[in-house]
A and B are shown apart, each in its own frame.
Chain A
Amino acid sequence: MSRVPPPEFRRPADHGAAGRTARLARGALPRLLVLVLALAAWQLATRTHGSVYFPTPARIARHAYDLWFSGPVGHVFLTPAAVDTILPSLGRMSAGFVLAAVAGVGLGILVGRSPRAYALCDPVLQFARAVPPPTLVPVFVVVFDFGTPMQLASIVFSAVWPVLINTAEGARDTDPLRLDVAAVLRLTAVERLWFLLLPSALPRIFAGLRLSLSLCLILMVFSELLPGTANGIGFALTDAQSRSDLLTVWAVLVLLGALGYLLNTGLLTVEKRLTGKRNHEGSRMGRTT
């Protein structure tokens, strides 16, 4: 209620389609302006400072364009280098994310359904989550094949925990009244899962998925430090670093930021569709794990 504007500022024109557009413009315009101002400030600062560590955004953009986006129209403007670098990385990351999501939700429901199972698994899960991903390189080297299997494994292994833990908690927090109703209605286990557990856990699941997605981006960079990597965004980053090619380092950073932003927005859109604006409150609540 501290957010709803007082009556004199609430316009009747705020309702309806025209109102929606007006609100959008009011919301998006200052943001766009700030973004543009920030970019301008960045350009100005780097231009005047002229340090080798801070190339101007214009140069970075041009370098990124030359490296990745100056390709033929048929390839969505992607150069062969981009196809070799960006696509495999994104592919691995997406595959890792999907695997982690499926495993996390599946295992999470299993664990969360029974308080006993939850108490059994909780310390182990918290421990697994606290393990820094790059430390497990020797284990992965031995168990998996070099290249994509190892990278996928390292992504999945670290990205699964937020989803798992959040799903387990969401399942555990199901309203007991509803569980009783389900028992009275004699719902089968599958029906209970589909109609009761999953929907009530959905906000928490999405919170976990959001965390996992951010984590996947980081892990994608990590996983490409593993031995045997031949391509990828993270690989391009470390390769550029070892050659002291700062311009490419910056270009990769900007690319990562943009990718992260796009992926986050995408997931949020999906979430809004699935959970509906009604449960908007609940979705934010789950972010605390």
Chain B
Amino acid sequence: MTTSRQLQVGTGRLAAGAIALALVLVACGDGGDSGSAGDGKQKIRVAALPLTDAAALYIARDRGLFVKEGLDVTIQPVQQSIQALPALSKGQVDVIASANYVTFLQADEKGTLDLRILSEGVRTAPHMMDVLVPKDSPIKTPADLKGRTVAVNILNNIQSLTLDAILDQQGAGHPVYRQIAFPQMGPALQKGQVDAVHAVEPFDSAIQGELKARVLLDGGSAPVQSLPISGYVTTRAFAEKHAKAAAAFKRAIEAASKLAAQDPSLVRAELPKYTKVTADQAKTINLPAYPAATDAARLRRLIELMRKQGLLKKPIDPATLLVK
């Protein structure tokens, strides 16, 4: 039976515990968010993937192009652009760099995001992504891929889209896709758990180097050459409320992309700073194409491809999504 003393002590201690907890919570406080514009510069928060896609962003930052346009840009890393989607739609970030179009066009179609494309990011270029097979693999031609397993980073996304398009053009059958993140493609290929991997740089070169894998197919070959892969996206709300900042951001990125296109060594110098690519790797990997201007026609090609393969149901005119 609980004595009255135990009751007193029990209550007292419970109260003490509750007060302690409350104090801890108050002391922790909230981390404080970015807040409004400080010194006259417009603040823009950008989520970026640690991939070659976002190089223009970092070039723009390091060369002062944002400052020149009167922007104060903070960059937050994210692993998959889908993970930053909720943050974008809730306004926790303003822009997502290297956002893959397939995911975001689908989100726009389903209504979870009101999409606006600020600027193109990268387009396919020769050997920026390849289909690799083990060096002693029996798969010798693309037609041999039919029915085999190919690893892609995200299912039903740009990689399977482009690969299926290439195979269709060559009259070859489709493979079966398995979802494996890029860093794990190497071990998977080595253990023979997939027949081929569709890897993007720098993993492409890394796997070729480590496992002496063979390039079966160039992921950027016809009919998907110069196809837009990812870009800088924002919401309609942001584009309308901060039209000037959006336009300034677009200008800065396009200027940086132009620099990147003219002088790839700039990109190679940036990569080790924000990705896990080493300086040596950066010197030799194949870079994507950095377009200096946004081309609605190419985006239309992408959307056509998506519709043909059933990834998109409604016809979307990309011109309506572009920010001026």
Q: List the interface of chain A (C-beta within 8 A of B).
A: 52-53, 138, 141-142, 145-147, 227-230, 239, 241-246
Contact = CB atoms under 8 A, between A and B. Distances in A.
A141 B157 CA distance: 23
14 contacts: A52-B112, A138-B184, A141-B184, A142-B187, A227-B151, A227-B179, A227-B184, A228-B151, A239-B155, A239-B156, A241-B82, A244-B106, A244-B112, A246-B112
- Among the interface residues A138, A229, A244, which one has the most CB atoms of the partner chain B within 10 A? A244
Contacts of A244: 85, 103, 106-107, 109-110, 112-113
Interface residues of B, number: 25
A278 B151 CA distance: 56
Contacts of A52: 110-112
A246 to B, nearest CB: 7
A229 B188 contact: no
Contacts of A142: 187
B181 interface: yes
B191 interface: yes
A145 B191 contact: yes
B180 interface: yes
Interface string B134-175: 000000000000000001001111000000000000000000
Contacts of A146: 178, 180, 188, 191, 193-194
Nearest to A229: B179
Nearest to B181: A227
Given A141-B187, A145-B191, A245 B180 contact: no
B192 to A, nearest CB: 9
Contacts of B154: 242
Contacts, number: 59
B188 A227 contact: yes
Interface of B: 82, 85, 103, 106-107, 109-113, 151, 154-157, 178-181, 184, 187-188, 191, 193-194
A144 to B, nearest CB: 10
Contacts of A138: 184
Given A141-B187, A146-B188, A228-B193, A242 B181 contact: no
Contacts of B151: 227-228
Contact of A228 (B85, B109, B179): B179
B107 A228 contact: no
B112 A242 contact: no
Contacts of B188: 141, 146, 227-228
Contact of B193 (A145, A239, A242): A145
B85 to A, nearest CB: 8
Contacts of B109: 244
B98 to A, nearest CB: 16
A229 B181 CA distance: 11
Nearest to B157: A242
A142 B103 CA distance: 29
A145 B181 CA distance: 15
Contacts of B103: 242-244
Contact of B180 (A227, A241, A243): A227
Contact of A53 (B106, B112, B191, B194): B112
Contacts of A245: 110
Nearest to A235: B179
A147 B82 CA distance: 24
A246 B110 contact: yes
A239 B112 CA distance: 15
Contacts of B181: 227
Contacts of B155: 239, 242
Nearest to A145: B193
Contacts of B110: 52, 243-246
A40 B156 CA distance: 37
A227 B149 CA distance: 13
A63 to B, nearest CB: 13
